Amino acid sequence: MAADSMEIDDALYSRQRYVLGDTAMQKMAQSHVFLSGIGGIGVEIAKNIVLAGVKALTVHDTKQCTKWDLGINFFIHEDDITGQRNRAEATLHRIAELNPYVHVAASTVPLDETTDLSFLKQYQCVILTEVSLLLQKKINDFCHAQQPPIKFISADVYGICSRLFCDLGDEFEVLDTTGEEPKEIFISNITQSNPGIVTCLENHPHRLETGQFLTFREVNGMSCLNGSTHQITVVSPYSFSIGDTSDMEPYLHGGIAVQVKTPKIFYFERLEKQITNPLCLVADFSKPEAPLQIHVAMLALNHFQENFGRRPNIGCLQDAEEMLKIAMSISETLENKPQVNGDVVKWLSRTAQGFLAPLAAAVGGVASQEVLKAVTGKFSPLQQWLYIDMLDIVTPLEKMESEEFLPRGDRYDALRACIGDSLCQKLHDLNVFLVGCGAIGCEMLKNLALLGVGTGQDKGLVTITDPDLIEKSNLNRQFLFRPHHIQKPKSYTAAEATLNINPYLKIDSYINKVCPATENTYSDEFYTKQDVIVTALDNVEARRYIDSRCVANLRPLIDSGTMGTKGHTEVIVPHLTESYNSHRDPPEEEIPFCTLKSFPAAIEHTIQWARDKFESSFSHKPSLFNKFWQTYLSAEEVLQRIKSGESLEGCFHVIKTLSRRPRSWTQCVELARVKFEKYFSHKALQLLHSFPLDTRLKDGSLFWQSPKRPPFPVKFEFNDPLHYDFIVSAAKLFATVYCVPFTEKDLSEEAILKIISAVKVPDFRPSNKVVQTDETARKPDHIPVSSEDERNAIFQLEKSILSNEALENDLQMKPISFEKDDDSNGHIDFITAASNLRAKMYNIEPADRFKTKRIAGKIIPAIATATAAVSGLVALELIKVVGGYPADAYKNCFLNLAIPIMVFTETAEVRRTEIRNGISFTIWDRWTIYGKEDFTLLDFINAVREKYGIEPTMVVQGVKMLYVPVMPGHIKRLKLTMQKLVKPSADKKYVDLTVSFAPETDGEEDLPGPPVRYYFVQEDN
């Protein structure tokens, strides 16, 4: 089957399509992958690549399920152990269930030095986990020698260290190295020189890099540049050079430079050669030497296994010494002769029998993305090693007895070998609040289940909440859900699925949003019971709110998020780190109102315009219409009131809507045709009337020059599919909001043509309305209604009443809520047609339905690989939080699996704010004052002074100013009781107040203070 002829199931894959694109999706859907070793990391890779949608996966394993596997493999259950099943066979159907489009097979035949490897020729990619280094070299040599080479990836986790290796053949071509949209740059000037310097429009940095290629279009004057491609050299953030332009015509105005994606060849060496001279990705720039040190330590472990037929014993000093000797001799054989890090070798030896499941999730996510790159040629591959260690977790465990790490014969032995029994017990007794059960939420629940969080006999509970129901598009990365779960609540379903991984987990699930409205449920008391809060959210506002609740209640928070192949994690620990709200991302740039309304320059502008038209016509206006007629019960009442001179808010627009209300399918089609003329012809004619093409500004420059594009009216053509799509989608939506029935026959081309042919389209009449050209101007809230409009409204309403067209049914509409994922509702059809017609009118490159849906629906691209990696990193930080680790142990991470980069940084230390005289506070400090029933505001101020040595000059509760001396009447408040001022509800024991203090010198700002929690009565301590 040709790669470009395959149908992609958009309902399932839509979020991932925006990450990979259709070409890569189709290549992937034709690829066969072989994966050996279904342990902790193997099952992670299998999950991610099956969710992504390869054609076929063979999972290979020769081992039998053991109790140990329950703590590392989320698809192995207790009955697999009692049934003595092979790991590949036990997990096969659970892996296959993840995606009906992927054929999953199991293989249990031995794979060793004597195996004939020719069976691998049927695969495009081979992944090895839990395979000896000698066998890895043999298989890698075989794969590398094939034509074309079979892509080879190996991944392993031993205790606290992980290793990932990629070899995609001598030369591997990548068509798109980053997956980013090609940049479009509006030009303000091009010099006639050698080299020619191109300058961007002011305040719009180009964000290009030297060596990239650009093509030009719409350049006026220097028109020979149009259609040509040039390699650029960056001169400044706002300019770049393009070679000799001295012989070209002088530049006049306009022009757009568009980035051209060029293929790139990546070169790979075999495993044998790379072992002696490894090319490593550095993940922690504070330890650039770490990858080579782990490389040596893990090679020493491999040699130890070959020499002794086993891994080093847990806590055995003799084995650690032996491994250190091996490491020293290996280091001498490597080209760079790296220094051996004794701590890494010692801890790897101590923990090598163990396994950190969250580390496998993190590395498994990265490895899976490398598999997808190998079979699609999309994104830059890893060259060629990635090492991640968790020394941060074990270094504080130095003084623990070795017995702590020994097996106890339960499902946590692999974890215990890494972190000791005491820390395992703390995890079991943990109370965790997980907010959100989407992609990261599902992955987090799996990690919590494998760690045994919330399984303690007397303590421990996982509380989860998510208000959403499961949609088909969720199944592509929210791996706890299956097709039969669609339209069920995410939280209840996720809870049930998590108990399959670990039946001893105690879990409470809710379907509430976490916001000010639910503070009765998620009260201060609730937060105080939690040991840590983990957010798995998709918006900044919710993160900020939960962060503020964690700070108020001194609770640790671990936040994370993904967007396509990018991801971040952030650890927030009371008294040690800054909080999420301590830093603010710049606000998203809004499209200026005048750009949207009259001067679009890019397809994003026309899509937003169409989205706004949808909202206004089919949601906002119908809602206002209904609200109006709920307030005023009859048309007669409204007529009487406006005749007597009353001004009823919104009545002019409501009456206009009522008088023009379509009452049949024919009238809905007619209305759509009239709207076509208004939006795509009259609008252009009006703008050209207001600003003819030769209009010039005060400085003599042309009004219509880049980025302003002159519009040209679109002439309606019934046979143009775009014109036809607009009419049909608009008519259907009008019929829905106005409750007009229609049939399949009504939608036939013949029926539509018959109606359209008879429509009398109003002629264009220019108006003298002022067109807004100021980019800083905002959309006006209310457009004033003239007295003529009011008189017209009375006439129209009288007419409607007389013709019996203002009856009860006429006073109701059916507002539509925009829903991007239901293809049958016509919402995206309307927006695509409207946007592309407007784009045509302004000569802007149109966008297909797929791109339009992403922009109009504000869809966040998503893929399971990044989600898995991020949640694994979060779970590793959770272990540190539970262990009460020092500040320098915590790591935030930013990753982009496409490039690929993974950057670990230390958390930001909490800032201390000085008030004066040595008095200071941080965001985590809270002063407390205990009052009594007759405690006055003056008593409160005195109590703060006596307890903390500084007198407040201002007291504020939320947005309510309780005491500001300069405000009239506030001095009298000093005698009022706190009860009377605050007016607490009966069950409220305290109130959080904000205080500030007089500056040291007059005229300066008041000095801020920490929150003060005032208790209305003395607590029984």
- Which sequence positions are flagged as catalytic? 594
Amino acid at 663: R
Distance between CA atoms of 540 and 580, rounded to whole angstroms?
10
The DSSP annotation for 281-347 comes to E-S-TT-TTHHHHHHHHHHHHHHHHHHHSSPPPTT-HHHHHHHHHHHHHHHHHSTT-PPP-HHHHHH
Distance between CA atoms of 173 and 175, rounded to whole angstroms?
7
Pairing of strands 197-200, 239-241: antiparallel
- Return the percent helix, strand and coil in the chain, to nearest 5: 40, 20, 40
Instruction: Please list the residues that pair with 64 across neighbouring strands.
Output: 86
Give strand ranges (E) for 436-477: 461-465
Determine contact, residues 389/908, Cβ cutoff 8 Å.
Answer: no
Please count the other Cβ atoms lying within 10 Å of the Cβ belonging to residue 210.
Answer: 11
Determine contact, residues 254/218, Cβ cutoff 8 Å.
Answer: yes
Pairing of strands 125-128, 151-158: parallel
Distance between CA atoms of 217 and 225, rounded to whole angstroms?
7
Distance between CA atoms of 557 and 572, rounded to whole angstroms?
5
Distance between CA atoms of 362 and 48, rounded to whole angstroms?
12
Q: Which of 47, 167, 14 is nearest to 872 (CA)?
A: 47
Distance between CA atoms of 985 and 104, rounded to whole angstroms?
60
Question: Side by side, which strands form the sheet with 385-389?
Answer: 103-107, 56-60, 32-36, 125-128, 151-158, 161-167, 385-389, 280-281
Question: Side by side, which strands form the sheet with 233-236?
Answer: 229-231, 213-217, 256-260, 184-190, 197-200, 239-241, 233-236
Determine contact, residues 141/152, Cβ cutoff 8 Å.
Answer: no
Determine contact, residues 668/735, Cβ cutoff 8 Å.
Answer: yes
Exposed / middle / buried, residue 687 (Cβ in 10 Å: 0-12, 13-18, 19+) = buried
Q: Which residue has the tokens 């002088």?
A: 250
Q: Which of 566, 568, 889 is nearest to 558 (CA)?
A: 568
Distance between CA atoms of 9 and 476, rounded to whole angstroms?
11
End-to-end CA distance of the chain: give it in Å, rounded.
75
Preceding amide of 291 cis, omega within 30: no
Instruction: Please list the residues that pair with 216 across neighbouring strands.
Output: 226, 257
Distance between CA atoms of 923 and 934, rounded to whole angstroms?
31
Distance between CA atoms of 443 and 749, rounded to whole angstroms?
49
Tokens for 677, please give them. 């003329």
Exposed / middle / buried, residue 679 (Cβ in 10 Å: 0-12, 13-18, 19+) = buried
Determine contact, residues 320/350, Cβ cutoff 8 Å.
Answer: yes
Exposed / middle / buried, residue 217 (Cβ in 10 Å: 0-12, 13-18, 19+) = middle
Q: Which of 551, 341, 515 is nearest to 436 (CA)?
A: 515
Determine contact, residues 72/360, Cβ cutoff 8 Å.
Answer: yes
